[in-house]
Amino acid sequence: ARITTRLSIPGRYMVLMLHSGAYVGVSRKIEDSRERQRLRAIANEMRPETYSVIVRTEAEGKSEEELRQDLHFLLDMAQKLEHKAARTSAPALVHGDLNLILRLIRDAFTRDVSRLVVDSESAYESILELVEMISPHMKSRVFLYSEALPIFHVYNVENEIDRTMRRKVWLPSGGHLVIDQAEALTAIDVNTGRFVGSVELAETVLTTNLQAAEEVARQLRLRDLGGIIVVDFIDMDNARHRQQVTKAFEDALKRDRAKIKMHNISALGLVEMTRKRTGESMSSLLTEPCPYCSGIGRIQNILTMALRIQREVAAAAVEHPETEAFAITAHPRVVASVLGYEGEVQRDLEQYIERPVYLRSVEDFHPNSYKMERLTLEQALAAVPHLEEGE
């Protein structure tokens, strides 16, 4: 939380600054010097004397009329805010930011979006009101979905979300990316996979790397990955090929709204970059660490689990000499490993601890989960028919 008197109201193309002097700033992501000068001149001309204005990246290439319309919207909101503040006794909420849907409309519903479909009538009406204020010509691109099937099902959104959770991402040529998120950084590895090319190795590598450059930029946006990112492109001996891949990657990253700093490809094919965090990544929002693997992405194999059970039974036999029998419930594959091909592993264990061991397999048990019960002989005999049913 931050307390400040330097209030700012963001619009689509500009940010209006209240009580913070009088100046005009232009987004650093707009690199063309002529465009920066044009936007600065337009903003200076229309800016009221008592306000400051920051021109956002989205303003690049926009007409004076579009910028003026956005500023009028912000000024109207600022006047209402100050008028309400003058009439309201503290403590009170004077202004609240737009909700998620309306922020999305303000920041992402741009002219390169051909269609916006929403399945809530109330949200649809709110969206039309906001679009009417900021981009009236875009109203015809907003549609209300009213069919019986859920909207995510019709547009295959669930499958797309599942794809963003996968570690491996396939490229059109047959190559693939492997994306691993660690605590401090994200590592993205590029592989040729099943793509062998048709000319020579260098061309195969170049094709894969060019496709990877486009897909890596897309995955960064989709997954909203932030912090330090290392991309391991396939090694290229040809300096011209490295320049091509670097240029393609830079062009693909320009479509990203987040602030990015990128270094050139090293001799080892590595690209080091940072992407500004704007919140939690999609993976953090939609998933949680696996309770079995603790988030490492791997579980203990069947043999490891079988040996672990044998050791625990042997230890329990020493620690609890009064125990007359043991019952083990586990996944069928684990039970099979504890049993042995012809029951020899179970027999050896029983001879070692000098007590019977009963095994029960349950399909629903996770391969890394099992249950060990210490029984009296009477309990064991009573349980034998029940245990044998699951064997």
- Looking at the chain, how many residues does it have? 391
pLDDT at 385: 56
pLDDT at 184: 81
Three-state DSSP class for 200?
A: coil
pLDDT(99) > 70: yes
User: Average model confidence (pLDDT) for the chain?
Assistant: 86
pLDDT at 325: 92
Q: Are the beta carbons of 22 and 50 closer than 8 angstroms?
A: yes
pLDDT at 244: 92
- Residue whose token pair is 């019977």: 356
Please give the Cα distance from 254 to 58 (Å, whole number): 11
pLDDT at 215: 94
Locate 253 and state its tokens.
């990253």
DSSP strand pairing (168-170 vs 116-118): unpaired
Average pLDDT of span 327-338 = 94
Categorize the per-residue pLDDT at 279 as very low, low, confident or very high, splitting at 50, 70 and 90. confident
CA 381 to chain centre: 53
pLDDT digits (tens, 9 = 90+) for 346-380: 999 999 999 999 999 999 999 999 999 998 888 87
Q: Which stretch of 6-20, 110-124, 229-243 has the lowest confidence by average pLDDT?
A: 6-20
pLDDT digits (tens, 9 = 90+) for 53-74: 999 888 888 888 888 888 888 8
Average pLDDT of span 8-15 = 87
pLDDT at 389: 42
pLDDT digits (tens, 9 = 90+) for 142-177: 999 999 889 998 898 888 888 888 889 999 888 899
Locate 294 and state its tokens.
């603790």
pLDDT(295) > 80: no
Highest mean pLDDT out of 9-18, 258-267, 310-319: 310-319
Please give the Cα distance from 310 to 299 (Å, whole number): 18
pLDDT at 73: 84
Sheet holding 260-262, edge to edge: 168-170, 176-181, 185-191, 227-232, 270-275, 260-262
Q: In what helix (H) or strand (E) does residue 261 lie, and over which residues does it extend?
A: strand 260-262
pLDDT(39) > 80: yes
Average pLDDT of span 303-309 = 94
Cis peptide before 91 (omega within 30 of 0): yes
Please give the Cα distance from 126 to 130 (Å, whole number): 6
Categorize the per-residue pLDDT at 198 as very low, low, confident or very high, splitting at 50, 70 and 90. low
